[in-house]
């Protein structure tokens, strides 16, 4: 199998994540789009590992690190979203303009 | 591309890739937040399937356990707690769709161009050449022990930070009684 087909699929998933990140109003949906982007990165890491087959399985270990960091990120992110909701009764990112100007 | 379809694993790739592409598209276009989260499960499950195809069994099951088992549940809790609007008439996207689509398409074009021109000749080895889990374990505790400890510290910090952020501030709530909050 060619490596490029995995890279193109990863690029497609990443671009959809970029689209969702820019277009969504709900902060939880923005976080979902970020998960999509992180997942595309993991796919790239595993695909490169399958192509290079390093003796120390570097791609797979870094994919595990990325999964761990993503879990931490989503925990903190949802805690912040929860706090914003508690203070402002809304999680729409285009209504959060307290720090503007 | 003539011989592409003669390889059985390419058919598996095509099947999973179409599934992932559809799910990922629905994650960012669904108008219901819960549907969006559940389509993310589809995209992640498809990715785990590709990991199995690429001989990364351990990472595939870590993905299933951590992402589908824990992160999605966390997302569903977040959706329920923030009472995200799920009605059919709710506008979940902001009006700048064209700008966002342009940015996404340009990102896609650049990434495809650079990966095809740089890695177009490379091949992956698939099923039957999987990485043994004991290699991952010994490397995590050997060569990668420092980043491993750093990541565990990040997780601990995130845990403490999440609890600190999300717990109710009782002292402040008493003074703010009847406020605008």
SS (H, E, C) B29-55: HCCCHHHHHHHHHHHHHHHHHHHHHCC
| pLDDT score for B93 | 80
Residue B74: CB atoms within 10 A of its CB come to: 17
| Alpha-carbon gap, residue B17 to B23, rounded angstroms | 10
Q: Do A73 and B158 touch (CB under 8 A)?
A: yes
pLDDT at B141 over 60: yes
Q: Is A53 part of the contact surface with chain B (CB cutoff 8 Å)? A: yes
Interface of B with A in 111-150 (CB under 8 A): 111-112, 115-116, 119-120, 122-126, 129, 131, 135-136, 139-140, 143-144, 147-148
Q: Do B125 and A51 touch (CB under 8 A)?
A: yes
Tell me the chain A residues in contact with residue B135 when contact means C-beta distances shorter than 8 Å: 56-57
pLDDT at B109 over 80: yes
pLDDT over 70 percentage in chain B: 85
| pLDDT score for A44 | 94
pLDDT tens, residue by residue, A3-33:
899 999 999 999 999 999 999 988 899 999 9
Residue B19: CB atoms within 10 A of its CB come to: 15
Q: Interface pTM (ipTM) of the complex?
A: 0.91
Looking at the partner chain, which of A9, A28, A36 has a beta carbon nearest the beta carbon of B78?
Answer: A28
Give the residue from A71, A89, A50 showing the smallest Cα distance to B159: A71
| pLDDT score for B181 | 44
> Residue A97 — pLDDT band, cuts 50, 70, 90?
confident
Q: Is A96 part of the contact surface with chain B (CB cutoff 8 Å)? A: no
Identify the closest residue of chain A to B161 by CA–CA distance: A76
Residue B93 DSSP one-character state: B
| pLDDT score for B87 | 61
pTM of the full structure: 0.88
| Alpha-carbon gap, residue B23 to A13, rounded angstroms | 10
Q: Do B124 and A50 touch (CB under 8 A)?
A: yes
Q: Is A72 part of the contact surface with chain B (CB cutoff 8 Å)? A: yes
């Amino acid at each position: 199998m060619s490596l490029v087909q995995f890279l193109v699929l990863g690029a497609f998933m990443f671009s959809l994540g970029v689209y969702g990140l820019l277009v969504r109003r709900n902060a939880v949906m923005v976080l979902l789009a970020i998960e999509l982007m992180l997942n595309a990165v993991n796919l790239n890491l595993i695909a490169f590992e399958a192509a290079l087959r390093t003796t120390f399985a570097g791609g797979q270990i870094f994919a595990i690190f990325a999964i761990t960091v993503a879990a931490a990120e989503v925990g903190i992110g949802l805690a912040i979203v929860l706090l914003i909701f508690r203070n402002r009764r809304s999680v729409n990112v285009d209504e959060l303009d307290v720090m503007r100007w | 591309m003539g011989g592409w379809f003669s390889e059985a694993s390419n058919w598996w790739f095509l099947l999973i890739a179409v599934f992932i592409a559809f799910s990922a598209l629905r994650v960012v276009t669904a108008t219901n937040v819960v549907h969006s989260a559940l389509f993310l499960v589809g995209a992640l499950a498809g990715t785990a399937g590709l990991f199995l195809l690429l001989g990364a069994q351990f990472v595939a099951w870590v993905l299933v356990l951590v992402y589908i088992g824990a992160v999605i549940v966390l997302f569903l809790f977040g959706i329920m707690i923030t009472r995200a609007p799920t009605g059919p008439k709710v506008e979940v996207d902001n009006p700048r769709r064209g700008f966002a689509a342009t940015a996404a398409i340009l990102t896609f074009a650049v990434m495809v161009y650079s990966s095809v021109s740089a890695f177009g000749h490379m091949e992956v080895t698939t099923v039957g050449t999987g990485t043994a889990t004991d290699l991952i374990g010994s490397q995590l505790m050997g060569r990668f022990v420092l980043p491993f400890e750093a990541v565990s510290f990040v997780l601990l910090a995130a845990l403490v930070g999440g609890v600190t952020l999300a717990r109710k501030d009782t002292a402040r709530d008493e003074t703010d009684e009847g406020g605008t909050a």
